[in-house]
Structure 1
Amino acid sequence: MTQDAKRTARQGSPRPAARSLLGVFRHRVRGRVLALLCAMYFITYLDRVNISTAAPYIKADLGLNDTQLGLALSAFSIPYAFFQVFGGVLSDRFGPRRVLAVVGALWAIATVCTGFSVGLVTLFAARLGLGFGEGASFPTATNAMATWLPSDRRAFGQGITHASSRIGNAIAPIAVAGLIALYDWRLAFYVFGAISLLWTLAWALMYRNRPADHPKITAAELEELSTEQRAATRPRLPWRALLRRILPVTFVDFCYGWMLWVYLTWIPSFFQDSYGLNLGSFALFSTLVLVAGVLGDMVGGLVSDALLRRTGSLRIARRSVLVIGLLGSFAFIIPTLIVHQLLLTTICLAVAFFLLELTNPVLWTIPMDIAPSHAGTAGGLMNTGYGIAGILSPILFGLLVDLTGDWVASFALSAVLLLIGGLAALRIDPTKRITASVS
C-alpha cells in the first residue's frame, strides 16, 4: 500500500457496501442534502451572473461607461472575498443550517434591491449586499458536504454542486434575456430574488447540522460515515498549520478565479461588442460557451474520485486534474487572441471553459482532504483567492478594454494567469492532513 493510500485509509474511507455511485445516495438522507445544495449553487449563480447579461441595458439605462460598469461588477467580490474565512468560521461554529438560512435571506434581498438601482452608487451598494450574502455560502456548503458525504465521494459532491452552478451560468443569459424582452432588465432581479427566498425556507426546514439529528436518518447510513463525521464536537483549529497548507491552494484558486470571472461578467459583452450580435444572439452564444462548464465540473469531480479509488493517491487524484485543466484552458484561450471568427472563437472559449471547470471541484475538495473537521474555515480560506480575483478581474478587464479599444490585452493577461496557476498547482500537497494533534 502506498503512503497516500495509508493516509486515505486513516481518513475513514466508506464501507464497501456503499461504494457504487448510486448506492451512496439512493434512499439516503445525504441524497436529499446534496439535492438541496445543488439547488443552492444553481440559484446563487443565477443571482451573481444575471447582471452580466443585463449589463448592456444597465449601462445604457444608468449612463455608465465600461470602467464604471466594471466597478459595479467588481462590487460583489469585495465583501465576497473578505467574508469567505469569517463565513467559514461561522459555519464551523454555528453549523450550516443557521448560517445558510441567514445569508440566504440576505442575498435574496440584495438581488431584489439590484432591480431598484437608479445609478452607480445604488447598483454598487446592491452588489455589495449580494457579496455579503453569498460570501459564506460555499464554505458553509463545503462544511455540510464534509459532514454528510463519504470521503471518496467528496469530489463528486463538489462536482455535481458546481455543475449545478454552471447550469445557472448557462441558463441565466437566456432567462434574463427572456425577462428583459417581457418587461425590462429589472424584472430578472425581482424574480431571482423571490426564488432565493423560497430556497432559504426549504433549507431551514429540511437540513440538520449533524446526520444523527436528522429524523429520517438510518443506522445503516450513519455507519457509512467515519467516526470523525459522526463526532458531536470538533477539535481546536490550528490556524498556523491550516494557513501553511491552504495558502498554495488559495493562490491557484486566484488564477482559476480570474479567468472564471471573465466568463461570468464579460462574455456576453464580448460577443455583442466584437461581433455586433443582438440580445438574442449574444445570449445564445454566451449560453453555448457556459454549458461547457457544466460538463467540466461533473467530469472533474468524477475523474478525481475515480483516480483516488484506483491509485489510492491523493496527489495523483487532485494534482493531475488541476494541472491538466489549467494548462489545457491556457492552450485553448490562445487562438481567441489571434482569430476573429465567431464559430471558432465560440468553440475555443467553450473548450477552454470545460478544461477550466475540471479544476473547480478539486479545488473545493482539497480543503476537505486537508481539514475535514474544519472544512468551512479551510474552504473559505481557499475561496478567498477566487474572491480577490473577483475584485480585480472584472474592473481591470474592463479598464484594459477601454484603454486599448479591443479585447486582446485583457484575454492575454487572463491566459498568462492560467499558465502560472497550472505550474503552481504542482506544489499543492493534499496529503498534508490536519488532525486534532497538530499545533
Structure 2
Amino acid sequence: MKFRGQYRTIILAMLLLATVINYIDRSALSIAMPFVTRDFHLTAGEKGIIFGAFSIGYAVFNFLGGYLADRFGGRRVLTVSMAGWSIACGLTAAVSGFWSMLLVRIAFGMGEGPNASTANKVVNTWFPLGERATAAGISQAGGPIGGALAGPVVGFLALSFGWRAAFLVMALLGITWAIMWRFLATETPAQHPRVNKAELSHIESGQEAVKAPTGQKVSIREVITTRAVLTTGISLFCYNYILFFFITWFPSYLVDAKNISLKDMSLVSSLPWITGAIGFLSGGFLVDAIYRRTGKRMFSRKVVLVTSLLIAAACIALTGVVDSVWTAVGVMTVAIGLLMLAAPAYWAIIQDSVPRHQVGTASGFMHGLANCSGIVGPAITGMLIQTTGNYASAFVLAGAVGLVGSLILAWFVDGTDRVLEPKPASVC
C-alpha cells in the first residue's frame, strides 16, 4: 500500500500529531508529580485519586465523543476536543492544591475523551479496508511517541522554568494543532479539493467491512451489546489497566523505589515509550500483512493481540519483583512494546464488527468502557502502595489483569457476532 502523494497522508500525519500531543499532555502530570508532590505535600492515596480523576471525564466522553463524531463528523469533534483539553491543560498551571487539581484533571479528561474514537472514525472515513489497521497503527503510534517525548520535554521545562510553565507550553501547542486541523481537513474525502478522482475511487472501493441491515435501522443498544464490541471493550479495559498503571505510577516507582534522580527519571521513563511507538507501528502493518496473506480478518487481529498481550502481562508482573533498576526498565520496555503491538487490532476489530456510520459510536463505547480502568486502577495502585509500603503487589495485580484481558478476547471474540443481516422474522 502506498500513501505517498495521496492527500490522506496529510490527514494521517495530523492524526498522528494529535495523538503525540494527547500523550505528552496526558503524561505531563506523571512526570511533574514529584514536583507537584513537593509543593502540595500529597500522599500516595491522594496522588492515586488525582491520577484516576482524569478517567472520570475521559471514559464518559470516549462514548459521547464517538457518538458525536458519527452525528456531526470527525473534523468538528476533533477540533473542539483538542481545543478543550488544551485549555484544561493550561488551567493546570493555576491549581492551588488537591481539590483544584482534581477538578482540572476531570475537565482535562473530558476534553481528551473523544480523541481516540473520533480518530478511528476519521480513519474509517478516509481509508479503505485493506489500509485501516496500518492507518490506525500509525495514528495511535503518536501515543507512545508522545509518552517518550513527555519525559525529556516536561522534565526540562519543569526543571528550567517550573512545572506550571510546562502545562502552559503544552496548551499552546494543542491550540495551534486545532487551528491547523480546521483548515487542512474535511469531513469526507469527497469534500476535499485536493483529493483527486483516483484517490477517491481507491478509498471508496474498499470502504464497507460491515453493511447495515437493508431497510432496518440499527439502534445504539444493538451496536454496543454486540458480543464483539462488548467483549473487546472488556479486554481493552484490562489492556488499559496496564497502560494507566504505567503512565501514572512508573515514574514515581523509579524515584521512590529505585532512588533515581528526577532528571534521570525524566529520561529513563522514555525508553519504554520508544519501543511502544515501534510496537504500535509494527502492529498495524503486521495485522494487515496477515490479513492479506490469509484473507482471515478476525484471525489476523486476534493472533497479534492475544499473543502480545499475554507476554506483556507476564513482563509487567516480573518488573515489580526484580532488584536492578536497569532490569526493571528493560523488562518494562519489552512489556510496553508488546502492549502497543496489540493495540491496533482492537480498533480493527471494532471496524470489522459494525456498519461504518456507527464506527464512532462503537469505538467510543469500547474506549469508554475500557477507560473505566483509568478511574479505579491508579487509585487501587496508590492504596496498595500506601498499605504494603512497596510496589510489588501493584505490578503483579497489573499483570494478572492483562492475562484476563487476553484470555477473554481469545475465547469470546470469533467474528461471527456482527451487525450484518437483519434478524429473520419469527414464523407462526
TM-score with structure 2 length normalisation? 0.93
**Counterparts of 1:275 and 1:418, CA distance in 2:** 24
**Counterparts of 2:370 and 2:107, CA distance in 1:** 18
**Counterparts of 2:363 and 2:45, CA distance in 1:** 31
How do 1:266-415 residues align onto structure 2 when only pairs under 5 Å count?
266-371=249-354, 372-415=356-399
How do 1:102-251 residues align onto structure 2 when only pairs under 5 Å count?
102-226=80-204, 229=207, 236-242=217-223, 243-245=225-227, 246-251=229-234
- Contact 1:43 1:168 (8 Å CA) reproduced: yes
Shift of residue 241 of structure 1?
A: 3.4
Which stretch has the larger CA shift, 174-183 or 369-378? 369-378
- Contact 2:128 2:206 (8 Å CA) reproduced: no
What runs of 5+ residues in structure 1 fail to find an aligned partner?
Answer: 1-19
- Matched position secondary structure for 1:403: helix
- Matched position secondary structure for 1:176: helix
- Contact 2:304 2:341 (8 Å CA) reproduced: yes
- Contact 1:228 1:373 (8 Å CA) reproduced: no
- Matched position secondary structure for 1:275: coil
Give the equivalent residue in structure 1 for 2:413. 428
2:237 pairs, out of 242, 249, 254, with 254
Letter in 2 for 1:434: V
Give the equivalent residue in structure 2 for 1:4. none
Letter in 2 for 1:86: L
- Matched position secondary structure for 2:269: helix
- Cα–Cα, structure 1 residues 54 and 438, in superposed 2: closer, same or farther, change >3 Å? farther
Which stretch has the larger CA shift, 246-255 or 203-212? 203-212
Shift of residue 305 of structure 1?
A: 0.7
- Contact 1:67 1:399 (8 Å CA) reproduced: yes
- Contact 1:252 1:385 (8 Å CA) reproduced: no
**Counterparts of 1:103 and 1:177, CA distance in 2:** 26
- Matched position secondary structure for 1:359: helix
- Contact 2:124 2:351 (8 Å CA) reproduced: yes
Letter in 2 for 1:264: I
Shift of residue 431 of structure 1?
A: 5.2
Deviations 1:114-140 (A, max 9, x none): 111101111111111111111111111
- Contact 1:75 1:127 (8 Å CA) reproduced: yes
- Contact 1:318 1:430 (8 Å CA) reproduced: no
Report how many residues are paired: 415
- Matched position secondary structure for 2:260: coil
- Contact 2:347 2:363 (8 Å CA) reproduced: yes
Shift of residue 436 of structure 1?
A: 7.4
